[in-house]
Chains A and B, each alone.
Chain A
């Protein structure tokens, strides 16, 4: 725990907080100031907007411990503020709220906008207010209410300018005390909830139980200078193939069923996906289909994927056509914008193809894999590995970006 001293709605407050407690929870749970609402809790919706040292900020992505020495104003602290009083009237007369959930954040943002700017067109008001979401009004009433008060701006007493910080408030000048008051938190810090992979094969799993709906797919091919028989035999040894995939590990194989895990490092994120899949090999056509799903317990994210590959003898070597399909849900998907995911999976596929080529030729995987199938997780400059892994591969896929 840390002790912090701050001012909330004009009152000095001294409190003990866990570093991981964000300001909105601190205000609501410890100070019982429940006017600050929590919506998305990751900085998108604006419901938790409060003033910190006179600048509106999101209390769900500001930690209470960062506010040691700060001056906070929540919706409860604006009762006597003349501009806020006028806005309340306008919100009422223009029907700028229905359920009211967004209103504390909305009206604090509206006050801040009028403090900073005047004479905006309705379209500009909408643009400025776009950081606060409302599910009821369609924003028409809100825009009208703000326009109404903005039109009177010159006659209204605007909030006095706060001594503005150039960095995030309260900044270096603030008096602060944040000290460890007990080492309990520190001792526990960094021990994430137990997420060791408990991967094992589900009894009775069947191919059909792995959903292949709604996957984004990509294709890639590689030509290796060996005959198709040799390549096909090589691909039958999953442990060796897994070694072509940095960060991947085959945990268990029982006939067609496989279980494994995969670690990736991407910037500050280090998801570890564990899961299971099934492989079905068609010796006659020298093609295989792998399906699977996996979970990263740390971020509660799930991934599904499919890999289909087929071999073709070209006379001078073997052409391997690879098709990868993937889908990601959960927290990691929040950070997986389409282009990034697509690019990553494309790179994964290419990297895998390269490693495979090296491994078949007896040179070992090119990008950090090791022969025991337990290669290291990727690090910053490394190639993200490849993919034959039922589930996993595709997975993290979605998230991240590219590597050169």
Chain B
């Protein structure tokens, strides 16, 4: 249970970090290390170099950018849970953050690290998909924005290049009347979710989005859900049909995920 040898650098600027990623193929980025740490201990990952980005000031910055709040990649779940990081969603982010793993993980685990790790059962991936967030990424030449729906290309795989760094996430603010529901099914509190349901009703922005997460890939987005539009209970048959339409075929998985979404919708409309 001890990691294989690696070298470690903790640059204090973004350009230094990007230079290291460019020059050392196979270098891995660490932020809080709450996913990478176990993988290193289990020797599932044996990188030559680990680049710690937590010493780069802009990585733990939170900025108000009008319609969006911009979180640096290294903002911890606990900082969001505690309200130490500004929240333009009226507490939605804090609510999601408070349910991630355990407090001792949330104090070091980061929003950017969770997204870059691309575990389908992770909370931020599903929750931020419902909110319509955008990822910011940079390499040595340019910065770009990636819609969160396009981030995950497979389990543990993202659209972020090997010499590119996920620098932050832009989270659209919600209108005052927006309503939100979140429900996850776990065998044990804090464990990886078996199913995640997210519901967002934001009439001012015309957003009536359901998200089904903890699938075997990217979260499934169900836009314009009639129940969220009408403010009525979801039609169980319709939800299941739509999940089937997205390629779910195992009756158990369909049931689990449909129930998670139904409960999220109930919570949003309650």
Give A contacts to B, CB under 8 Å. Answer: 2, 18-20, 22, 25, 41-43, 46, 49, 52, 55-58, 60-63, 65-66, 68, 109, 112-113, 116, 127-128, 130-132, 164-169, 171-172, 174, 176, 178, 185-186, 188-193, 266-269, 271, 298-300, 331-332, 334-335, 337, 339-340, 342-344, 380-381, 400-404
Contacts and interface: CB of A to CB of B under 8 A. Distances in A.
A404 B153 contact: yes
A334 B119 CA distance: 13
Interface string B1-38: 11111111010100000000000001010111110111
A268 B37 contact: no
B157 A339 contact: no
A43 B117 contact: no
Given A19-B8, A188-B5, A404-B154, A62 B42 contact: no
A337 B192 contact: yes
A331 B190 contact: no
A131 B55 CA distance: 27
B124 to A, nearest CB: 15
Interface string B234-270: 0000000000000000100100000000000000000
B108 A166 contact: no
Given A112-B103, A402-B155, A343 B10 contact: no
B74 interface: yes
28 contacts: A19-B5, A20-B5, A22-B3, A43-B38, A43-B105, A46-B102, A57-B107, A61-B37, A113-B103, A130-B190, A131-B101, A164-B79, A164-B84, A165-B76, A166-B62, A166-B75, A167-B32, A167-B59, A172-B57, A189-B7, A190-B6, A269-B156, A299-B43, A339-B215, A400-B156, A401-B120, A403-B154, A404-B154
B205 interface: no
B166 interface: no
B14 to A, nearest CB: 12
B216 interface: yes
Interface residues of B, number: 78
Given A41-B1, A63-B8, A404-B153, A168 B84 contact: no
Contacts of A49: 104
B108 A131 contact: no
